[in-house]
Amino acid sequence: MSRRALRHARHLTAAPALLVLLAPTAGCGKDPAPPAGQATVPAAAASIVCNGSGQLLGAGSTAQANAIDIWKAAFGTACPNITVTYGGGGSGAGVQQFNQGKVAFAGSDAPLKPEEVEASKQVCTGGQGIDLPMVAGLISIVHNVDGVDDLVLDAPTIAKIFNGQITTWNDPAITALNPNAKLPDATIQSFHRGDDSGTTANLTAYLAAAGNGAWPYPPSKTWAGQGGQSANGSAGVSAQVKQVKNSIGYVELSFARTNGLKSAAISTGAPEPVAATAANAATTFAKATVAGTGSDLTLDLDYATKEPGAYPIVLVTYEIVCDKGNKPATLPALQSFLTYTISDAAQQAIGDKGYVPLPPEIASKVQAVVPTLS
């Protein structure tokens, strides 16, 4: 493991930092008085800076819902004049609402498509929608297999399960990966997202990249696999897997933890199967690079990684905003909220809940873009 990956892994095991953000202009000693129209909340060591007021609307990804809840609580306490309201519904619904001008930001686990960028120009006067990575995480292959605690799967096997080609838990492909497990002779019940989902887009990107052709469909927010049952949102999939014996599904690690679900380790070609942990996902994110141009910070992720200890099924939730043409009434609040959420304190706060703090190299790029929004 690289030194940088080790640093990220150590961050994940540390206790969460206080939910505070040092004001950029603050130095040693007494904090300066805020400018007119700007409020700060006194704190022992630092403060979240609050600009603007009113309601800030967002919608989209359910993958980041638990992170948003944590951030809303801290930000709302610090900035009582700003009410952040976030509705789930999935990444597809969030992008649609953003391009209809209904929300100030959208959460999406997949970057904007070219046609979605073009549509955004209708609401981003003089600009367009851009992708700002904000919430990093991993997708757990969650299971409720009778009598099995530790399950190992690989990309081709996962693909065939979710495409209805492997239908029993004692199938030879699963048995070969789990020689010491007592796999039941039971029918597999798979659950997938029924709504257009960035989680689905990232899972299918992994299956396409690492499945050796077993997944015959292109990566997409819309589920294309055959068989199985659908459920809405990560909460819906989690609930079904928890309730139905001998089932399998895919949700973010935070939802797996919240619902007490077991996560499969992934055989990637590395010497050992890789467990679904935030520390192992951090190893993968340490190698992520920016593929977007200008203010767009779309990331390039290696779903086919074989690096030891690198969990491959990762995702990033992007906050989609206008680079130019944001509504003047909500722009100050939007910048305040995003400045907080990309801060080290906020990133570490969600790291304790199954998410992965963004690598400093990526976070710093987002921090540089937020003040330029207009």
pLDDT surpasses 60 at 346: yes
Secondary structure in 3-state letters for 124-163: CCCCCEEEEEEEEEEEEEEEECCCCCCCEEEHHHHHHHHC
Q: For residues 178 and 25, which has the higher predicted lDDT (pLDDT)?
A: 178
Annotate 338-359 with b (16+ C-beta within 10 A) or e (fewer). bbbbbbbbbbbbbbbbbbbbbb
Cα–Cα distances (Å) from 124 to 84, 99, 111, 121, 127, in that order, read 21, 9, 17, 5, 5
Number of helices (H), then strands (E), in the chain: 13, 15
Residue 314's SS3 state is strand
Domains in the chain: ranges and CATH = 3-135+318-372 (3.40.190.10), 138-283 (3.40.190.10)
Confidence bin at 88 (pLDDT 50/70/90): confident
**pLDDT confidence of residue 354:** 84
Residue 58's SS3 state is strand
Short-list 355, 172, 153, CA closest to 248: 153
pLDDT surpasses 80 at 27: no
Residue 335's SS3 state is helix
Dihedral class, residue 233 (left if φ above 0, else alpha if ψ from -120 to 50, else beta): left
The pLDDT tens digits of the residues spanning 221-245 come to: 999 999 899 999 999 999 999 999 9
The pLDDT tens digits of the residues spanning 244-301 come to: 999 999 999 989 999 999 999 999 999 999 999 999 999 999 999 999 999 999 999 9
The pLDDT tens digits of the residues spanning 354-373 come to: 899 999 999 999 999 999 99
One-letter identity of residue 281: A
**pLDDT confidence of residue 353:** 84
- Nearest-5° angle of CA 67, CA 26, CA 51? 55
What is this structure's pTM?
0.80
Considering only CA atoms, give the Rg of the chain: 21
d(CA 187, CA 189): 6
